[in-house]
Structure 1
Amino acid sequence: MLPPQPHDTDAPIRLTDNDAALAKLSAVRQNYLSDPYIKYFVPRATFQPVRPPLINIGTFVRTVAIDDLVNQWLDLSSAEGKKCQIVSLGAGSDTRFWQLATGLRKDCLSKYIEVDFPENTMKKAMAIKKNKDLSTVLGAPADIKLGHGGTSLFSPLYYLLPADLRQNPTLSLSSLITRNGDAPPLLDASLPTLLIFECVLVYMSPQESNTLLRWFHTYFASQNDGRLGAIVYEMFGLGDSFGRVMVSNLRTRNVSLPGADPYPNVESLPSRFLNLDYTSAHALTLKDIRRDYIGADELDRISKLEMLDEVEELDLVLEHYAITWGLTVSGKHGAAWNEWGMRRRETIDEDEDE
C-alpha cells in the first residue's frame, strides 16, 4: 500500500492559470483579440467552449491595457537607443513573449524572462519544445536548452525559470543577478526593465510581495541610470458584497487572496509601490480603462461581436479589478519616463488620426 501523499496546497493557485488561458482562448476565438499562440497552451483547445461575453470583454480590456503599457515601455527604451528586459513573474501560460518577438517591436527586446512554479514551467517548457510554431520563435534547435529536470528552458532571447515567488528572492531569484563564471548576470541593471504581475501578488501575503518588489527596486536603484517599471493586474476592494461573494467562491476551490487585504479601494493601490520608495505609481480600474482609455474604434468594433445584456454586471466586475503601474527612475531620465502610463481615449484617437 502506498504511503499517503502530502496535500498539495498550491495546486488550486496553479489551476487559476487554466482559467486565464481558457478566457484568453475564448476572447481570441470570438475575435476580441488576436493571438495565434494561446491554443498551444490549452489542452484540447478546439473543444473548449467559449466563455460568456462578460468574461471576453474583461479579458479584452485587461490585455489591451497591459499591452499598451508594455509597448510604451519598449518605445521609451528605443528612444534612448537601448533594448529592454521584461520579467513576467507568475507567467503561467502567457503568450506575450511570442506576440512581441514576432511583432513590430521585436528588435526592442534584450531578453524576456518568465518565472513560475516548477510544475507550471515544466508544462510550458514541454509545450514549447514539442511545437514548432513556438520553438522556432526562440531560435535554432541547438540554441534551446532544458535545465533543472525539465523545469527551466534557455534560449538566446527567452528564459523560463522555476521559482516560488513567496520565498526569499535573494535565494529563489538569485540566478537572475548572479554571475556564472565569466558570464554577466542574466538581468543587466543598466537596461530599462519591466516587471509584469498578472494575478500573482494577490495570492501572496503583503509581506511576501513587498519583499519581492523591494528586492527588484534595490537591485536597479544601485545603478545611477537604472529604470525599473512594474505592472500589477489583480482584484481589489473585496470588502463589499460583490467582493465577499468572490472571496467565498474562491474559498470553495481552496484559493485565498491575502494580497487583497491592504487595498480597499483604487486610491490605495499606488501605495504598493510608493511605500517602497518607487518614484511614482498610478492605478485604474478596468471599468475606468474601458470607459476612458480604449480607442473609440476598438470599442465600436468589439461592441458588434456579441450581445451584452448585463452591462451593470460587467461594470460591477470590472470595478473590482485594476491595473497599477509603478516606476523607479533616476533624475536625468525622469522627464521622458514619467510620461509612461495609460493614455486617455482622446490621446489615442489623436495618435491614430495622425
Structure 2
Amino acid sequence: MPRAGPPRHGERRPRLPPLRRLRAGGRRGYYARVHGVGQLLKTFLKKTECNCQIINLGAGMDTMFWRLKDENLLPKKYFEVDFPMIVARKIYTIKSKPPLSKPIMESHSGESFLIDAHSLDSNRYSILAADLRDTAELEKKLKTFNMDTQLPTLLIAECVLVYMTPPQSASLLKWAANTFQAAMFINYEQVNMADRFGQIMIENLQRRQCSLAGVEACKSLDSQRERLLLNGWETANAFDMMKVYSCLPQADVRRIEGLEFLDEKELLEQLMQHYCICWATKDRCNLGLSSITF
C-alpha cells in the first residue's frame, strides 16, 4: 500500500493505479457538484427569504430536504419527482428509517399527511412519481400536491436532461420558464462532449447499454446556455466543473485535497472540464435572481 504523507527525501511517491486515480478525481468532482449546486440553491433561498418552493426533477435518493431542515433553510414546500420504481424505493427507505421519517413529521402540521407506495405528501415535503417527458402529467400531479405557480420556484435537474431527447428536454425547460412568475433552473450534466475525451465517454457508456439521447446540447458551454435562452429563460450561465471547483471556499478545497493524494492533476482537469453546472433565471417579481452566481 502507498505510504500516507509526503515522501522522504529522495524517495519517489508510489503512483496510484489508474482506477484509483480515476476514483480520486471522481470524488473531488462529486464534492464540487454537491457544493456547487448547494451554493446556488442557498443563494436562491436567501434571495427569496425561503418564501419559495423547490422542485427536484429526477431526484433519486437525494437527501437535500434533510440537509436544509438541519440548517433551518426549508422552503415553503420541497417536491421530488422521479419514476415510480425509484419513488417506491425511496418511500420504503423513509418509512423504515426513523432518522428520515421523523424530520418530515416534525415539519408537518394538520391531518393531510399522505403516504402510499408511489407518493408521499406532507406540508413541507412531497415525493411523486411522474414522467418528466410528459409536462402535462407532471404539472397535474404537482398541483395535486399543492404546487403554487405564484411562488418563486427553483427547479433542479442533475444528470437528467442528457437522458432525454432534445425536443423532450426543450419541452420541460419551456414548461418551467412559462409556468412560474419567478423561477431559476439549475442543470448539472456533461459538456464538451464533441472532443476526443467526450467521445470516449460516450463510447464507454454505449458499451454499458447507456445512451445519452440529449448529448447534442452538451457540445459546449455555449450550446448549454443557448438551449436555456431558446426555451424562454431570460438569463443563462454555464461553468465547467473546474471553474466551479476554483470558486468554492478554498479552505474546504484544501481540506478535501488533503484527505486523498492525487498525482494526476491533468486527469482531474479533464474530468471536470467535461461536466458543468448551468443555471437560468426568469424574474417577473424583480427578486434579483439574475445576480445569483458563485
Instruction: Please report the TM-score for the alignment, with normalisation by the length of structure 2.
Output: 0.87
| 3-state SS in 2 of match to 1:324 | strand
Q: Distance in 1 between matches of 2:174 and 2:232?
A: 9
Report the secondary structure of 2:30's partner residue.
Answer: helix
The structural deviation recorded for 1:294 is 1.1
Partner SS for 1:58: helix
Name the residue aligned to 2:155.
195
Runs (4 or more) in structure 1 with deviation over 6 Å come to: none
Structure 1 unaligned segments of length 5 or more: list them.
Answer: 1-48, 179-184, 221-225, 343-354
| Paired residues of 1:237 and 1:260 also in contact (CA < 8 A) | no
Q: Determine what percentage of the aligned residue pairs are the same residue.
A: 33
Match of 1:351 in 2: none
Q: Tell me the distance in 1 between the aligned counterparts of 2:232 and 2:223.
A: 15
What SS class does the counterpart of residue 248 from structure 2 fall into? coil
Deviation at 1:273, TM superposition (A): 1.3
3-state SS of the aligned residue for 2:55? Answer: strand
Match in the other structure for 2:27 = 56
Aligned residues, how many? Answer: 271
Q: What CA deviation, in whole Å up to 9, does each residue of 1:75-134 have, x standing for no partner?
A: 0001xxx6110000000011111100121323xx10000000100000000000111000
Q: Deviations over 1:140-161 (max 9, x none)?
A: 69764323xx011112211000
What is the CA–CA distance in structure 1 between the aligned matches of 2:130 and 2:147, rounded to whole Å?
A: 16
Q: How does 1:158-169 map to 2 (within 5 A)?
A: 158-166=125-133, 168-169=134-135
Alignment map for 1:153-302 (pairs within 5 Å): 153-166=120-133, 168-177=134-143, 186-220=146-180, 226-291=181-246, 293-302=247-256
Q: 2:254, 2:80 → 1: CA distance?
A: 34
Cα distance in 2 between the residues matched to 1:287 and 1:117: 31
Q: Distance in 2 between matches of 1:215 and 1:262?
A: 18
The one-letter amino acid of 1:328's match is K
Aligned equivalents of 2:91, 2:83: Cα separation in 1: 12
Among 276, 279, 282, which residue is 1:325 paired with?
279
Q: Is the partner of 2:76 in helix, strand or coil? A: strand
CA contact (8 A) 2:87 2:128 kept: yes
Q: Distance in 2 between matches of 1:205 and 1:279?
A: 23
Residue 190 of structure 1 deviates from its aligned partner by 1.6
Higher relative contact order (CA 8 A, sep 6+): 2
Partners of 1:163 and 1:173 within 8 A in 2:
no
**Cα offset, 1:74, TM superposition:** 0.4
Secondary structure of 1:88's aligned partner = strand
Q: Write out per-residue CA displacement over residues 17-42 of structure 1, whole angstroms, 9 at most, x where no aligned residue.
A: xxxxxxxxxxxxxxxxxxxxxxxxxx
Distance 1:173 1:118 in 2: 16
Letter of the structure 1 residue corresponding to residue 222 of structure 2: E
Q: Tell me, in whole angstroms, the C-alpha distance in 1 between the residues paired with 2:260 and 2:218.
A: 33
Identify the residue that residue 347 of structure 1 maps to in structure 2: none
Q: Which whole-Å CA distance do the structure 1 matches of 2:241 and 2:52 have between them? A: 27
Query: What secondary structure does 1:269 align onto?
Result: helix
1:64-143 mapped onto 2 (5 Å cutoff) = 64-78=35-49, 83-106=51-74, 109-139=75-105
Measure how far apart 1:52 and its partner are: 2.5
Aligned to 1:311: 265
Q: Which letter maps to 1:145? A: L
Whole-angstrom distance in 1 between the partners of 2:289 and 2:222? 22
**How far, CA to CA, are the matches of 2:226 and 2:275 in structure 1?**
16
Scaled by the length of structure 1, the TM-score of the pair is 0.73
What is the letter of the counterpart of residue 28 of structure 2?
I
2:208 counterpart SS class: coil
> 5+ residue gaps in structure 2?
1-19
Between the aligned partners of 1:164 and 1:338, the Cα distance in structure 2 is 29
